[in-house]
Amino acid sequence: MSAFSGTDGYAAEAPVLFRRYEARSFEEVHASILDLLPAGGRALDVGAGTGRDAGALARRGSAVTAAEPTSELRDGARRLHPEPEIEWLNDGLPDLAAAHALDTVFDVVLCTAVWMHLDAEERFAAMAAVAPLVEPGGLLSITLRRGPVPSGRRMFHVQSAETIAQAQAGGLRCVLDRDEPSIGEENRAVGVTWRRVAFRRGPS
């Protein structure tokens, strides 16, 4: 069993996921936070998958740390997105040990389509790991999945209120809490929607 929670099924489905994830642009997927993103700076993409978001952030001027625990995704993503501004880590939730070993903080931390893989205890630990990585004024974005669990996957329904409370305990303030439709046709067809919550470190 992997030390990283929720990776079941991703290695076997890697070829399909590359086609599916790369078919949607960063701007489509993250439309609701584009105005919140800084220009440049340091970015951490947790659960970087196929590298779509890491590549986009690099092209927007960020130095990117991409944490992806599934080697089939990480290795393919490195080939597909060879931007020198991206550093790839074999790392993931709930601990993010390799990211913490870098001894740095980030202007942007993305946790896109990963939080639902954590059970309640792991989510508590994950926020304790993620929150300190957000620098003052920095942005943390988390998406929460709503809908049926695909066969062979480990997922949990997560209320945004829980995530907000945990983030606030870690010194972050909520700047966005909203429902969002699925971008992908496959998810829309089975009724999957998303809740996005975003946070900043620092005073209002």
Whether 2 shows a pLDDT value over 80: the answer reads no
And the tokens for 37? 């993103």
More confident residue, 2 or 26: 26
- pLDDT tens digit string along 21-67? 888 999 999 999 999 999 899 999 999 999 999 999 999 999 999 99
Backbone angle region of 201, left / alpha / beta, with phi > 0 → left and psi within -120 to 50 → alpha: beta
- For the stretch 130-189, pLDDT in tens is 999 999 999 999 999 998 887 777 899 999 999 999 999 999 999 999 999 888 767 676
Model pLDDT, residue 104: 97
Domains located in the chain, CATH noted: 14-201 (3.40.50.150)
Strand, coil or helix: what is 73? Answer: helix
pLDDT value of position 165:
98
The H or E element spanning position 77 is helix 71-80
168 against 16, higher pLDDT: 168
Q: Measure the CA–CA gap between 17 and 143, rounded to whole angstroms.
A: 18
pLDDT in tens, 65-124: 999 999 999 999 999 999 999 999 999 999 999 999 999 999 999 999 999 999 999 999
Are 197 and 177 in contact by the 8 Å Cβ rule? The answer is yes
At 143, is the secondary structure helix, strand, or coil?
Answer: strand
